[in-house]
Structure 1
Amino acid sequence: MTNRGPGQVASRPRTMHVRRRPPQTPAWWRDLTGVLCWTSVLIVAALWVSGRGLQTLLNGPADLFTSLGRLSGLVAADLLLVQVFLMARVPMIERSYGQDELARRHRLTGFWSFNLLLAHIALILGGYTLRDHNNLLRETWTVVTTYGGMLLALAATAALVVVVVTSVRLARRALRYESWHLLHLYAYVGVGLSIPHEIWTGADFTSSRLAQVYWWSAYGVAAGAIVVYRLMLPIWRTLRHGLTVREVIYEAPGVVTVSLGGRGLHRMPVRAGQYFVFRFLDGQGWSRGNPYSLSASPAPDRLRVTAKAAGDGSSRLARLRPGTRVAVEGPYGRLTAERRVTDRVAMFACGIGITPLRALLEELDYRRGDAVLVYRAHSEADLVFRDELEQLARRRGITVHYVLGPRLRGRASWLPEGAGSWSDAAAVRKLVPEISQYDVFVCGPDRWMDAACAAVTAAGLPAGQLHQERFSW
């Protein structure tokens, strides 16, 4: 292990390698994904109509509630499967949207699914109570204890409640990433436990052969995507490339770089700006994966990641030893050269957000004088890769601005305390003149990114030239 003092950065010359470029992502992949998701909801609604869902609405309050309960339950189940499929790491979807946008869509779909599930429960119980001329509590007890699969459905609902509650922003902030990720796996438990209820007591499933074909196909596709892309593909890539830890370097206070070696990495479809989910097989806790961006352009025999200690997983990096085996998922993310539309690039980084942007500056194609880096940090001691960045700047003609100082209080700003007299947009125009002619890549903490993105937009950057990917959970 290489051990350097705080703020001292190792100078590591790198050899240029020719890599096989991953293919461009077809634009129609994104459109097709959206069409398929909406089509699944329309199919569910059509199956409900074919099962006399509309006709029963006119048969009185009991049938009205029950029929609407059937529809809400069917759509809730379909959206739950869509939610699972969106986060199954399917390359077509991953490369079309990127993980930050997928996470937002996943969360939105999940809340709609859960709300419809609650509506399904309330409407069905209300309809059954009216039909049986019973009181609500007694009817609920009868349904749970006598209908097939209902105890399992109750357990499925409890599992989904855990997932939804821990997805609320306040709850996420109170949990460690590792705890949140483990609790989020309960979504799979909820999906699995809901199937018997649908098979045994779901009127739309039991009365329609077409519905049975659709639902079995939908569950099969979702389960298959999970098995193939979240289990088999990572295992295959881990065994094929044989990644191990080669070196651990202390970059700055609390910041650690891990260099990884492996076989045939030029065959891996990875680009600068992407990230992997790593599991370091060094003992207890090895099964918990953590996402880390590449901090250098990938080489045929080496990858490099850099992280700041912010939880159990990233804190473990400093204790890694050379030779430790590594299991890997990925690559993921869309913060790559593929998104460029101009010949000039400007990078806005804050803190450890420098990692993917440093890799992009190394890999992107641009002329001398056509690249700008604006690096925001609390102090000089917190600048990561300073020596590397300055060597890269001299070699490739990059203009580098270090924006240092404590956080500006009193307004949401990307600037430090000492620049409080500047407007955010004016500072952008000062540091990057003619910003409308640049592709701008932004990476850092969420609130800082919000302010930085607002500033570059206000400074005149067209929306299509702003590129960001958020790695918060």
Structure 2
Amino acid sequence: MSNSIVRALWYTLFIAIGVILIVIWLAHSGYLLIEGTGDVFVALGRLAGIALGYAVLLELLLVARVPALERAFGFDRMNRFHRGAGIAILYTIVAHLIFLVGGYAIRNDANIVNQFVEFFESWEDVSSAVWGAGLMLLAGVLSIKAVKKYLTYDLWYAVHLLMYIGAILAFGHTIQSGDFASGGPLIFWLLLTGEVALVFVGYRIALPFVYDLMHKFKVERVVQESPSTYSVYIGGKHMEKFHFEAGQFAQFTFLRRGIMRHRPFSFSAPYDGKHIRITVKDFNGTVTSKIRTLVPGTRVIVDGPLGRFTLASAETEKCCLIGGGVGVTPISSLARDAKAKGKDAVVLISHRNPSDAPLLEEMRTTGVRTEVFFAEGQGGQKLSGELIEKICPDIHERDVYICGPAPMMDALTEGLVVRGISRNRIHTERFSM
């Protein structure tokens, strides 16, 4: 079954659940729409609450790293859905609060402040829901791009976890008030939330724990690839059972003080059944700067493999693999995979200068045509859609894989699209969620 059909089935399921939720709302609160202004506000507030609850469930499902979802949609598309669900959560929290407080204030002929205080003090489930909503709002606001850029990754990630605490605090409110407090709607909501919770716990928490018990991953050695880039070789037990495809990535947590935070890194070498390799750039001031200090025997938790940045996603038998900076890591793996599978591949590598070009010699020995460009120095060239088409005239017949800094990926994608390359044949992936 093709990915497009599988995606259509998932969309149908999500829409069907949304329709059921709206039908439940209409059955229990629809009559309020023909009453007074206060009642209309209350009905709309309940609808916003239902939308909020569903958005939270979708958000949890999206970050649960469900393989079936990831295979169907790909990590980039799921990231976009993740951001969309986060925005929906922000808007629906505000709408739920405004409409319900305003509606009951009109009903009770009270001012808004007194009505809010009455909610908070008299409704036991509301007080915990308000705290939960506050935590979700904080996590959502700090995830807005304009705000997030001022935060370190570690601080942002820690605050992001508040979303889960907020969802737990608000859950009681969803089954004690409103349209899901009893009968069939309550059963449906409990089944829906219970299933999402099981999926989240299973894939996000239990599976990495099982992998850890099975493989006992640990650092074998650290190799310097360039002045600021290091490769980490990771081994363990039963490594032949830890399968991944070239181009995929995983979340890695090194169990060592000062570095014990999970980070996404792509596999920089294909599966060999013996060890896995990641190649990491040393960014001063971040946890990556401590990768070079890892010692053999350091335990590692590996959550993955993840992503669809693989040759299995290709629509053609020919490919063009483009890497920039440390983005060459999955490209290196893909190049060797393409060679092993007999695919017609062209590799284009872009670095700032020759002094910091990780895995370059390795790339040149893959047997795949490899062109390297340096942006700095005399005669420097910067990759563009025009240059790619010049170097690879049959680019229209190839699947294109791009990995590197986000601005580079965006610019090259648009540069290729305006030259008639189908977006379906342009594969990029931003390794985060």
TM-score w.r.t. structure 2 length? 0.94
Q: Contact between 1:29 and 1:92, CA under 8 Å: does it hold in 2?
A: no
- Aligned residue runs from structure 1 range 357-368, under 5 A: 357-365=331-339
8 Å CA contact 1:298–1:304 kept in 2: the answer is no
- Counterpart residue type for residue 465 of structure 1: R
CA distance in 2 between counterparts of 1:339 and 1:434 reads 19
Q: Corresponding residue for 1:110?
A: 86
1:438 is aligned to 398
RMSD (Å), alpha carbons: 2.1
Asked whether the equivalents of residues 274 and 356 of structure 1 are also in contact (C-alpha less than 8 Å), the reply is yes
> 1:170 Cα shift?
2.0
After TM superposition, the structure 1 stretch with the greater mean CA deviation from structure 2, 99-108 or 365-374, is 365-374
Cα distance, 1:368–1:46 mapped onto 2, change above 3 Å: closer
Report the CA distance shift for 1:89/1:218 in structure 2 as closer, same or farther (over 3 A).
same
Equivalent positions of 1:238-257 (< 5 A) are: 238-257=212-231
Alignment of 1:8-407 (within 5 A): 27-51=4-28, 53-200=29-176, 202-206=177-181, 208-286=182-260, 288-310=261-283, 312-365=286-339, 370-392=344-366, 396=367, 398-406=368-376
Distance 1:297 1:353, change over 3 A: same
Given that residues 40 and 103 in structure 2 are in contact (C-alpha distance below 8 angstroms), is that contact kept between their aligned partners in structure 1? yes
The residue that corresponds to 1:12 in the other structure is none
**Structure with bigger RCO (C-alpha 8 Å, 6+ apart):** 1
Q: Distance in 2 between matches of 1:106 and 1:32?
A: 19
Q: Deviation at 1:263?
A: 2.6
Instruction: Read off the aligned partner of 2:24 and give its amino acid letter.
Output: L
Conserved 8 A contact 2:374-2:381: no
Contact 1:372 1:399 in 2 (8 A): yes
1:452 pairs with 2:412: yes
Q: Aligned pair count?
A: 432
Separation in 2, partners of 1:314, 1:333? 21
**Structure 2 residues without counterparts, runs of 5 or longer:** none
Which amino acid counterpart does residue 351 of structure 1 have in structure 2?
Answer: G
Q: Could you list the runs of 5+ residues in structure 1 that have no partner in the other structure?
A: 1-23, 408-415
**Would you say the 8 A contact 1:156–1:191 is kept in 2?**
yes
Measured in 2, the distance between the counterparts of 1:166 and 1:323 equals: 37
Task: Give me the whole-angstrom Cα distance separating, in 2, the residues matched to 1:269 and 1:210.
Answer: 43
Task: Note if contact 1:295-1:305 (Cα within 8 Å) is conserved in structure 2.
Answer: yes
Q: Give the alignment's TM-score, normalised by structure 1.
A: 0.87
Partner of 1:413: none
What amino acid is aligned across from residue 46 of structure 1 in structure 2?
V
| CA apart distance, 1:55 | 1.7
Q: Distance in 2 between matches of 1:37 and 1:381?
A: 50
Shift of 1:80: 1.0
Q: Give, in angstroms, the shift of residue 366 of structure 1.
A: 7.0
Distance change in 2, residues 1:204/1:349 (3 Å): same
Answer with 216-225 or 28-37: which moved more.
28-37
Q: Which amino acid aligns with 1:446?
A: A
Deviation at residue 148 of structure 1 after TM alignment: 2.1
